[in-house]
Copies of this chain bind each other. A is one copy, B any other.
């Protein structure tokens, strides 16, 4: 089993539960915890410099803001920095997020080793995740369904930019002009019109207001 683990998690109470469980169930002696990403990163550096690197990082995704100024503000940034420093480190993400697409992208883009969804069985799953990762396998909370195809439509960056601009109050004419100014093509008002209309169909929206409301609610823009 891993000889030491670093846990980055800003919820004091959750933290306590995790530490306690890992210690008791997995007999991991050296469990260290940090409430801030920056401090967690420091620990990784120090451990590596003293030839006693952490083989495993368990991190949340979201860290609440407070008075402290921070360089690293999310678990994603932390795990990227950690991987840059120490490529061999195993990473388990433990968070509330339950959107399969976002979790999938953590595996694909960040190469995490396991994802555990906080919830009623979060602790049991975390133990299972640590065991899997130790054996070189990946793990995902079973309630996460990686549905491919289905009702999930892709939004490419072009669509996304248009929608963000619309949501921030720009008209299609203004967007068209902005794109022309930046020499990005396509850029005609007509094409923007068509793109957005197609999204109406895909998302079952009746007009722009409806589409924007849906997408903002889904956290996609």
Binds B, one of A44-52, A69-77, A79-87, A200-208: A200-208
In the complex, the answer to whether A122 meets B11 with C-beta atoms within 8 Å is yes
Q: Name the contact of A205 in the complex, choosing from B12, B98, B126, B169 (C-beta under 8 A).
A: B169
In the complex, the answer to whether B16 meets A210 with C-beta atoms within 8 Å is no
For A15, what are the chain B residues with a Cβ–Cβ distance below 8 Å? 17
Contact string, A4-44, partner B, CB cutoff 8 A, digits 1/0?
Answer: 00000011111111101100000000000001000000000
Chain A positions 155-174 with a Cβ under 8 Å from a chain B Cβ:
166-171
**Nearest B-chain residue to A19, judged by Cβ:** B17
Contact string, A179-221, partner B, CB cutoff 8 A, digits 1/0?
Answer: 0000000000000000000000000011111101100110001
**Nearest B-chain residue to A20, judged by Cβ:** B16
In the complex, the answer to whether B206 meets A121 with C-beta atoms within 8 Å is no
The verdict on A35 contacting B213 (CB below 8 Å), with A11-B14, A16-B16, A17-B13 known, is no
Q: Name the contact of A206 in the complex, choosing from B98, B169, B210 (C-beta under 8 A).
A: B169
Q: Which 10 A-B pairs have the closest CB atoms?
A: A169-B206, A169-B210, A13-B17, A16-B17, A167-B213, A17-B17, A216-B216, A12-B123, A13-B123, A35-B120
